[in-house]
Amino acid sequence: SPDGRTIAYSSDRGGAMEIYTSGITAGGKESPLSNDGGQNIFAEWSPDGQWIAYHSRRKGGIWVVPSGGGGPRQVVDFGSQPSWTPDSEHIVFTSDAGGMAAQSILWIVHRDGTGRRHLTKLGAPRGGHTKPSVSPAGGIVAFTVSHGHISSEVWTAPLDGGPGTKISNGASAHFSGDGKAVYWIGRTIEGNDALMRIAVDERGTASGSPQTLQTFTGN
* DSSP codes joined into one string, 165-195: EEEEE-EEEEE-TTSSEEEEEEE-TTS-EEE
- Whole-angstrom distance, CA of residue 210 vs CA of residue 85: 26
The DSSP output letter for 121 is B
Q: Name the residue type at position 22.
A: S
Residue 100 has pLDDT above 70, yes or no: no
Give residue-wise pLDDT tens across range 37-55: 999 999 999 999 999 999 9
pTM of the model: 0.92
Q: What angle do CA 201, 192, 167 make, to 5 degrees?
A: 20
Q: Which helix (H) or strand (E) holds 33?
A: none
| Each residue's pLDDT tens digit, 62-71 | 999 999 999 9
pLDDT on residue 198: 96
Read off the pLDDT of residues 106-161 as tens digits, 9 standing for 90 and up: 999 999 999 999 999 999 999 999 999 999 998 999 999 998 777 899 999 999 87
